[in-house]
Amino acid sequence: MTHTKNPIALLFPGQGSQVVGMGRDLFEKHSVARLTFEEADDVLGYKLSRLCFEGPEEQLRLTEITQPAILTVSVAALRVLDMRIPKPSYVAGHSLGEYSAHVASGTITFADAVRTVRNRGKYMQEAVPVGVGAMAAILGMAPDKVASVCHEAAHGEVCEPANINSPEQIVISGSTAAVERAAKLADERGAKRAKLLPVSAPFHCSLMKPAQDRLESDLAALKLQTPVYPVACNVDAAFVTDESRSRDTLVRQVTGSVKWDQCMRLLIAHGVQTFVEVGPGKVLCGLMRQIDRSRTCFNVGDEASLAKASEHLAAVA
């Protein structure tokens, strides 16, 4: 990688981007990707690679499998891409993806990240019994209006904005009845759409406090390094450039909302023209179109997208 006069930011997807078959193409064609999957299999003590490539889908959807699976596909794609494109100026990841971003920045080793996100998934799942919590996507409603809908619908229960994804899309999280009330209220107040999401737990709200406490002691035990590239962190929508702040923001992220829209605007304000979504799916490129259509966003998750992105990025270097 070489430095570029046109700043590039690497973006890493979070939960929801998983799909059976992800990563297989890179695994078959690149030894560095193959080694990445083998390392994850060794660390976890089961064939994560097989679940990524063959499913079954319901197993791949279990949070404690989804999280290391997406991280592994993202890091495999990153390592293949590494040889082919200029150095990024910044990195960012959506929720779970922030761990992939820290691996890219050298803050945390891949093996430690795989172990940590497996536990993170497990702790999040165990924090709230199934059915007690819910999440809903509110489309086409301003953030302040969504916040007041959450406040009014809470009735003493938890109901909070969890992911501020773009000006068009905010996900709310909390107690099932409160989230259902908020979705109904958002509908009545003119949201384009309010729909409950098929998730197994209410992520990024205060119900996740037990998970946050357990993860805090795991992260405290890890040796982190100074990030090579500034990481735009979810919880503060600010750059993290040292290890203690990296640890703190990863801890607070469990109950804090993902300020994705603000993170992307921070990167844009720092002159980033080109974004590369590294890992499965194109969710983050889709959000970028809602945030700022004038920016270029490529995804790299397989051989075809890798070729396309490499060609373009070689030209902007």
- The distance from CA 183 to its chain's CA centroid, rounded to whole angstroms, is 24
Token digits of residue 21: 């078959």
Sort 121 into a burial class: Cβ within 10 Å, 0-12 / 13-18 / 19+: buried
Is 94 known to be catalytic? no
At residue 200, the 3 state secondary structure works out as coil
Task: Identify the bridge partners of residue 175 per DSSP, sorted by sequence position.
Answer: 133
Is 206 known to be catalytic? no
Q: Spot the catalytic one: 49, 89, 95, 305.
A: 95
Q: 289: closest CA among 164, 193, 166, 170?
A: 166
Q: Residues 6 or more apart from 36 whose CB is under 8 A from it?
A: 72, 75, 76, 79, 110
Q: 79: closest CA among 112, 109, 36, 19?
A: 36
Q: How far lies 205's CA from each of 117, 134, 175, 191, in Å? A: 18, 10, 10, 21
Token digits of residue 248: 């703190």
- Dmax over CA atoms of the chain, in Å, equals 55
Q: Spot the catalytic one: 30, 94, 102, 204.
A: 204
At residue 299, the 3 state secondary structure works out as strand
Sort 113 into a burial class: Cβ within 10 Å, 0-12 / 13-18 / 19+: buried
Task: Identify the bridge partners of residue 133 per DSSP, sorted by sequence position.
Answer: 175
Q: How far lies 200's CA from each of 4, 84, 130, 193, in Å? A: 42, 38, 6, 21
List residues with catalytic annotation: 95, 204
